[in-house]
């Protein structure tokens, strides 16, 4: 535990830095959206403003990151040999056990928070020599939380605007702002078509056969991007789940606006609606989860980390004990979870502590995860994401690959302590299905952006799977690395599309490597990264394997899956599916790369007009390529992983045996570590397999892909139709809804309308009677009064002479008279 002074000092500094980084894009948005109306449509000022805002945000985030690392006293370059890490694990475990013994006597529930505090202090004593594991066991050592503003208080229920800053937050901030900055810069070039008073949209045809014309919307694009950055950073900075929900919806709105940026295109507006509506489905689950939490906990805050008041409030501290376990009582349906901070709302009769039924905790977790399903395009709500590629490519890069869709993963990671093993299993299987479905569709997709979109779905599935099987670090690690290389690839595809004059079909490309070398080779970096390729059997001491970022994170995921399936043989699907899919991933990514950049030009027209993008677009590519290569350097012992690891919930590191109702075995760090090497080797092997296959198919052209398609016509068609999800939903939901709507309309017409017509007729009849009454009685009465008033006035007008002097006389005379009257009658 840090001292309160240090806590508040560093916490405030971080809060100001990140809040500034968070609010700057909002400022930019306001200026752009209002200033844009009056500014010149050909001005690039909005773009510079947006870049300035988000760039400043990046610098602030960078400062915050350094500050945080400094405050956490973290040795990021923790490149020990692998044994020492394992030893550290055991040491930490031993220390943990010792402390358990120390406190077992006084560990009753009445003064639990107190015990919690002592616990933290004890860990602090032994913390420094133990390496990063001590941080992991000391749950909130380097987390800062606080409240911006209290929105309202209803009894014991509190709604506040909070902030919560830990290693994950600062890492996400740095990642989001860096990628957003690059994409903003890229978009200056990409969206330069819009810098006109008369933009011709080639995809919208007017009735006379021409194209639709409108004014350019350059400023609006950047305003939306800024708003998105604001929302995304707010989501990351949020200190309670309700606030997360607010920004969750806000990013949804931004996504809607950006997908529907070319609103005149039917496809774009439909895709925007689809994205929005499908997200609502997931958010419904989110709302249910929120209601459960609200009803049983009464707080939304993640955790209270102030060393003076630690443990007094916060969801995590209420659910988990100090060593990260759930404290349960009862069995079966009677099973309840005892809340730790004595803050909850419901108490059992015989139980001094507030409790929450176990199944409700599961339901809450599933609900929240439902939101994540929608936002992260997981099965079964994945179909909106490919359609979302209707938006401009920078949007796809920023919103629909790197940041917003990763928010679901982020939330699962952030909310991890609230998830019971049952929920984790659901998460794992959802991710497993998603990654396979996405990868298979990507194999047959021909639209360059669609390939990337399905790849995104697949990779998000990987992350979910990792989180579900207990590889917390692996999932979030992959989140960051994926953000870099996927945004890189999207920007590359944007560059290709820009260079080919908005041609997106890979079947019309080919051989572009000569025309656009920078794009080609930066894309290659991304492809290698996502495929998880590495140079086998060679490793630089201290730095691990020679590989790009994707290798390290995917390696970690596969290792987690492997460990999990070895501990739970019944769930071995959770290892083999991602393993196979790793190969598929390599295959389709290289397929895309070869189809686009190599081989013979398939469409000479496109090829002739293709050109390398301007420097403003290639520079971000190079920056992102650099990060895609090196951001995960050192693997799980590297700085990025270490940074994220500080946030890892306590119970994850140790794992759990026979957890939950279903007896799930969750792997701990040391178990995953045992499988790490073998998992890496297997994954690499599979990835090479996929790569070689792709090279044979599309690089060398040995196999005739057309023939293959014919041969596997059924499967191919099934995959082309995206596993028939859209058709399925059409039949399952849309058609029935329409039928019900038809019935409802008929009911309206036949029953309700007639009833209303009858009512209206009644009213008309009553009012006609009323009118007669009015005319006969009320009017006459009023007229009589008016006549009377008027006649009185006529007779009185002679008194009012209008002569000033007479009035004065009146006054004087009346005063005298009044006085005499009073004088005569007043008792003396």
Q: Which residues bind other proteins (CB under 8 A)?
A: 797-798, 800-805, 808-809, 811-813, 815-816, 819
Minimal distance, residue 786 CB to other proteins, in Å: 18
Determine if residue 480 is left, alpha or beta; phi over 0 gives left, psi from -120 to 50 gives alpha, anything else beta.
Answer: alpha
Per the CB < 8 A criterion, the answer to whether 55 and 181 are in contact is yes
Query: 125: buried, middle or exposed (CB in 10 Å: 19+, 13-18, 0-12)?
Result: exposed
Alpha-helical runs (H) found in 500-600 = 512-515, 517-531, 549-567, 573-597
Smaller CB separation from other proteins, 105 or 805: 805
**Closer residue to other proteins, CB minimum distance, 105 or 828:** 828
Nearer to other proteins, 576 or 819 (CB): 819
Report, in angstroms and rounded to the nearest whole number, the Rg of the chain calculated over CA atoms: 34
Q: And the tokens for 73?
A: 């006293």
Query: In this structure, what DSSP letter does residue 391 have?
Result: S
564 burial level (CB within 10 Å; 0-12, 13-18, 19+): buried
Residue 447 — left, alpha, or beta (φ > 0 → left; ψ -120 to 50 → alpha)? beta
- What is the token pair recorded at 816? 């005298």
The two three-digit tokens of residue 734, written as one number:
């849309």
For the bound state, the minimum distance from the C-beta of residue 107 to other proteins, rounded and expressed in Å, comes to: 55
The answer to whether the beta carbons of residues 338 and 353 sit under 8 Å apart is yes
Smallest separation (angstroms) from other proteins to the CB of 826: 13
* 695 phi and psi angles, rounded to 5 deg: -65, -40
Instruction: Answer for the pair 71, 10: CB distance below 8 angstroms, yes or no.
Output: yes
CA 5 from centre of chain:
33
In the bound state with other proteins, the residue whose beta carbon lies nearer, of 752 and 813, is 813
Nearest distance from C-beta of residue 827 to other proteins, angstroms: 16
CB-wise, 747 or 819, nearer to other proteins?
A: 819
Q: How far is the CB of 811 from other proteins (least distance, A)?
A: 8
CB of 797 to other proteins, least distance (A): 3
3-state secondary structure of 502: coil
66/821 with CB nearer other proteins: 821
Q: Which is nearer to other proteins, 765 or 788 (CB)?
A: 788
Positive or negative, the CA dihedral 263, 482, 58, 412 is positive
Least distance from other proteins to the Cβ atom of residue 280, Å: 57
Q: Measured from the CB of residue 791, what is the shortest distance to other proteins in angstroms?
A: 14
Q: Which is nearer to other proteins, 90 or 803 (CB)?
A: 803
Closer residue to other proteins in complex, CB, 745/811:
811
Helices (H) and strands (E) in the chain, counts: 33, 11
- Encoding tokens for residue 685? 């092997």
Exposure of 590 by Cβ count < 10 A (0-12 exposed, 13-18 middle, 19+ buried)?
A: buried
Judged by CB, which is closer to other proteins: 750, or 809? 809
Smallest separation (angstroms) from other proteins to the CB of 802: 4
Pick between residue 128 and residue 794 the one whose CB is nearest to other proteins. 794
CB of 806 to other proteins, least distance (A): 8
State the DSSP code for 198: S
Identity of the residue, 777 or 812, whose beta carbon is nearer to other proteins in the bound complex: 812
Decide if 77 contacts 304 (C-beta within 8 A): no
| Interatomic CA distance for residues 372 and 407, integer angstroms | 8
**Distance between CA atoms of residues 301 and 309, nearest Å:** 14
Residue 809 C-beta: closest distance to other proteins, Å: 5
The CB-of-787 to other proteins minimum distance in angstroms stands at: 18
Phi, psi of 500 (to 5 degrees): -95, 20
Q: What is the 3-state secondary structure (H, E, C) of 598-662?
A: CCCCCCHHHHHHCCCCCHHHHHHHHHHHHHHHHCCCCHHHCHHHHHHHCCCCHHHHHCEEEECCC
Tally of residues, the chain:
828
Nearer to other proteins, 350 or 802 (CB): 802
Nearer to other proteins, 740 or 792 (CB): 792
Q: How far is the CB of 784 from other proteins (least distance, A)?
A: 23
DSSP 425-494: HHHHHHHHHHHHHHHHHHHH--BHHHHHHHHHHHHHHHHHHHHHTT-HHHHHHHHHHHHHHHHHHHHHHH
CA distances from 144 to 275, 307, 395 (A): 34, 10, 32
Q: Closest CB to other proteins among 700 and 815?
A: 815
Q: Which is nearer to other proteins, 4 or 786 (CB)?
A: 786
Closest CA to 226 of 178, 181, 272: 181
Q: How far apart are CA 670 and CA 102, in angstroms?
A: 25
- Look-up of token digits 């196999």: 703
Strand order in the sheet with 355-357: 328-329, 336-338, 355-357
Question: How far apart are CB 815 and other proteins at their closest, in Å?
Answer: 7
Least distance to other proteins, CB of residue 794, Å = 9
Alpha-carbon distance of 736 to 759, in angstroms, equals 33
- Take residue 268 and report the two structure tokens written for it: 């774009």
Least CB distance to other proteins at residue 823 (A): 9
Identify which of 225, 210, 207, 175 has the alpha carbon closest to the alpha carbon of residue 36. 225
Q: How far is the CB of 818 from other proteins (least distance, A)?
A: 10
Task: Indicate the residue among 110 and 816 with the shorter CB distance to other proteins.
Answer: 816
Closer of 715 and 808 to other proteins (Cβ): 808
- Burial degree of 779 (CB within 10 A; 0-12, 13-18, 19+): exposed
Find the shortest distance in angstroms from Cβ 805 to other proteins.
5
């Amino acid at each position: 535990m840090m001292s309160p002074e240090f806590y508040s000092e560093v916490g405030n500094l971080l809060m100001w830095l990140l809040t500034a980084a968070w609010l700057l894009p909002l400022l930019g948005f306001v200026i752009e959206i209002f200033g844009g109306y009056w500014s010149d449509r050909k001005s690039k000022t909005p773009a510079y403003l947006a870049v300035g805002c988000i760039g400043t945000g990046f610098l602030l985030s960078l400062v915050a990151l350094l500050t945080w690392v400094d405050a956490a006293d973290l040795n990021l370059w923790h490149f020990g040999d692998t044994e020492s890490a394992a030893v550290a694990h055991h040491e930490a475990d031993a220390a943990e056990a010792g402390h358990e013994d120390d406190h077992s006597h006084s560990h009753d529930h009445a003064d639990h928070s107190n015990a919690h505090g002592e616990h933290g202090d004890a860990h602090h004593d032994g913390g420094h020599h133990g390496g990063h594991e001590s941080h992991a066991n000391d749950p909130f050592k380097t987390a800062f939380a606080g409240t911006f503003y209290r929105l309202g208080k209803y009894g014991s229920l509190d709604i506040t605007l909070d902030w919560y800053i830990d290693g994950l937050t600062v890492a996400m901030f740095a990642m989001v702002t860096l990628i957003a900055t690059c994409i903003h810069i890229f978009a200056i070039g990409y969206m330069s078509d819009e810098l006109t008073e008369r933009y011709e949209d080639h995809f919208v045809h007017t009735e006379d056969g021409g194209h639709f014309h409108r004014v350019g919307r350059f400023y609006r694009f950047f305003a939306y991007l800024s708003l998105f950055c604001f929302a995304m950073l707010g989501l990351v900075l949020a200190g309670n789940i309700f606030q997360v929900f607010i920004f969750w919806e806000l990013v949804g709105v931004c996504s809607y606006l950006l997908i529907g940026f070319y609103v005149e295109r039917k496809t774009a507006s439909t895709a925007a609606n689809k994205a929005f509506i499908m997200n609502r489905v997931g958010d419904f689950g989110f709302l249910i989860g929120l209601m459960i939490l609200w009803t049983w906990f009464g707080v939304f805050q993640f955790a209270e980390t102030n060393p003076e008041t630690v443990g007094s409030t916060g969801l995590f501290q209420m659910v988990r004990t100090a060593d990260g376990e759930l404290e349960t009582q009862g069995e079966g349906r009677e099973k309840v979870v005892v809340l730790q901070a004595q803050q909850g709302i419901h108490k059992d009769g015989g139980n001094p502590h507030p409790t929450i039924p176990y199944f409700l905790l599961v339901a809450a977790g599933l609900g929240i995860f439902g939101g994540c399903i929608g936002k992260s395009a997981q099965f079964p709500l994945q179909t909106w994401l490919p359609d979302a590629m209707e938006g401009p490519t920078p949007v796809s890069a920023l919103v629909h690959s790197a940041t917003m869709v990763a928010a679901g993963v982020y939330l699962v990671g952030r909310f991890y302590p609230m998830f019971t093993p049952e929920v984790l299993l659901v998460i794992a299987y959802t991710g497993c299905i998603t990654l396979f479905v996405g990868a298979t569709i990507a194999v047959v997709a021909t639209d360059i952006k669609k390939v990337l979109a399905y790849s995104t779905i697949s990779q998000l599935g990987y992350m979910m799977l990792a989180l579900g099987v207990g590889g917390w670090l692996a999932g979030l690690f992959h989140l960051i690395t994926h953000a870099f290389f996927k945004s890189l690839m999207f920007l590359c595809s944007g560059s290709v599309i820009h260079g080919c004059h908005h041609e997106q079909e890979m079947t019309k490309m080919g051989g572009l490597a000569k025309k656009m070398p920078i794009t080609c080779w930066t894309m290659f970096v991304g492809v290698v990264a996502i495929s998880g390729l590495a140079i086998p059997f060679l490793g630089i001491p201290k730095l691990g394997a020679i590989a790009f970022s994707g290798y390290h994170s995917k390696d970690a995921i596969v290792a987690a899956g492997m460990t999990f399936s070895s501990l739970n043989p019944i769930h071995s699907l959770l290892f083999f599916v991602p393993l196979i899919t790793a190969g598929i991933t390599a295959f389709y990514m290289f397929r895309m790369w070869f189809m686009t950049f190599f081989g013979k030009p398939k469409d000479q027209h496109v090829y002739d007009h293709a050109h390398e993008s301007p420097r403003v677009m290639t520079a971000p590519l190079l920056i992102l390529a650099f990060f895609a290569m090196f951001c995960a350097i050192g693997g799980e012992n590297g700085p990025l992983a270490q940074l994220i690891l500080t946030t890892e919930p306590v119970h994850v590191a140790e794992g759990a045996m026979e957890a939950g109702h279903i007896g799930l075995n969750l792997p701990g760090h040391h178990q995953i570590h045992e499988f790490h090497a073998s998992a890496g080797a297997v994954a690499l092997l599979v990835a090479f397999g996929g790569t070689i296959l792709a090279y044979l198919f599309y690089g060398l052209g040995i196999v005739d892909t057309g023939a293959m398609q014919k041969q596997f016509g059924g499967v191919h068609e099934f995959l082309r139709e995206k596993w028939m999800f859209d058709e399925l939903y059409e039949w399952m939901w849309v058609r029935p809804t329409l039928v019900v709507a038809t019935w409802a309309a008929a009911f309206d017409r036949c029953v309700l309308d007639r009833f209303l017509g009858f009512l209206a007729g009644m009213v008309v009849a009553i009012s006609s009677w009323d009118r007669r009454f009015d005319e006969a009685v009320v009017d006459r009465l009023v007229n009589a009064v008016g006549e009377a008033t008027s006649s009185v006035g006529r007779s009185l007008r002679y008194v009012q002479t209008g002569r000033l002097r007479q009035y004065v006389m009146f006054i004087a005379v009346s005063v005298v008279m009044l006085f005499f009257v009073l004088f005569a009658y007043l008792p003396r």
